[in-house]
Structure 1
């Protein structure tokens, strides 16, 4: 008797049974952020926030019985590297992308991801260049216009009527947008932007020269627009040259690295936070304690916003209907309950977001009215 046909049939049946019994393939979440550049503190905190959200969701069965997995790509805050990174995620056919965390990378990534029809959810991109657009980018943060206007009002009310600014052109879409919005709002209040000094964030940046250029205009306040490393170095140089001059920094630098690197030069610095560091609610404390236990460090603003973004994704995936794109599901099924505030998107995938102004006092961010 020839057993080959029977064996072949049994083998085929075994494969079918294995496929029938195996769980659905995992949901693949792409991550793109700066993990090796000068703002890696923001990218790493965002990655950690996503890891925690995925691990917690998988512990309760994933989404519709499917587990979640992360594919991580480092953009290095470099356009060419970012282009390759986002294409890698597209080629891997991820179900959604979390990131990027800088506007300069978003400028490269959004056209690619929109052409592929894959949802991209950015926790931190704020440039007005990406607001009010019908594309596949969903933004968790407010815009540079919102932030810069709040700063303009606060600085003028604090008696700073002549401000000098320095801004990082390495993340030009963000910094230039922020500066222009600030200039417009500040002038409307009666203030004068007496200097705007551009620089490119890199290892050999001459921070002392930048500080001296800012001070030549005899301002009554200094404003730094850049990442934590740059703001810390600029503040240190300014402290040497004009120790009593008030300093402020755009919200992007509001990480623990700023305090670590800046030291005593940070005292009195005004900076906005994208979340309430003093929140004692059960919801936030559970996240905070789980994050510290998992990563042995405090969560930064990008970790909080990324965790909220993951919450949006899981809930939208649960409610997504047959034939409905994930983008449409996100826009249709809000509002979503974030760690500290409700999240509701408009037709363009934009949302409002509350901020909390702080001053550095005694090496800590202390919330101010």
Structure 2
């Protein structure tokens, strides 16, 4: 008897402990946690940049942040104001006010700026802003955007040379006019009691996208002249309260509504009394069709007009029957009698006499010699018409 081979020892089962599991996953978990913390910190520290045109905080091509940074690098202090109160508080005798987006200001805000000290640089101002902040300057025209030459005695413009000044044009009563065009000048400067006022008809020389073109940067820096700047870029006004359509109308229109309504009422009354009723005569009496038929029959009977009655019966019969036979009013009597004979089986000659009379009979139409013959004619026509339907 052979001995059984030795049995191999059973395989050992290894168990993964919690410490081993933590050592495996702590690296990836730490990496994911670090990414999460960095993303949260970056999201908390970031803020959206302004996107408005000529906004001194906006880095977009239409903004003016590059010019504001250059002014700060040259040693000037740039205060960015978003409302009139902040701008007036920062203005002083040695400052220059740069005003953009003046259409967002109310008349009372323009009056507060007019009373503040310092020089002013108005960029494409509205008519109301010109009247309040630049007396003696008026819009005279417009030229297409492009490069213009200064051609004036203003040192700031002559040193800058050609610039992208095409836009609104102005006329000034007493002052300097630079970058001229056929209808005016794109830059004008006048002096007043509070300081000098410079009006620029376009914001292109101040924008980020145009600052490195031509003499735009030099023109903007020369107009400021190394002084502290208060840049007023008003925020969009927020509507407060609701106004009805009647309240939005100008006072002159509201005052004219009632006189116009009264005059319209008087006109309607006058014209209505003058015209009178639309129809002066009475309307005709409406008569039923049966009454009309009976009245005409009575007239025929009173005048013994059997021939006219027979002609009326035949004409009505033919008008109703011809479309059923495929004929029209231009069909000859013979063709009508033959077509009717094919449909009814009657004799064509008899139908010809029935519908049109007997021209060979010298005594006249046999169907209208008396009332009985006329009744027989009506009965025959009704019978034939009934056989066709």
TM-score, structure 1 normalization: 0.25
The one of the two structures with greater contact order (alpha-carbon pairs below 8 A, sep at least 6) is 1
Task: Write 1 or 2 for the structure with the bigger share of strand.
Answer: 1
TM-score, structure 2 normalization: 0.24
Decide which structure has the larger Cα Rg and report it.
2
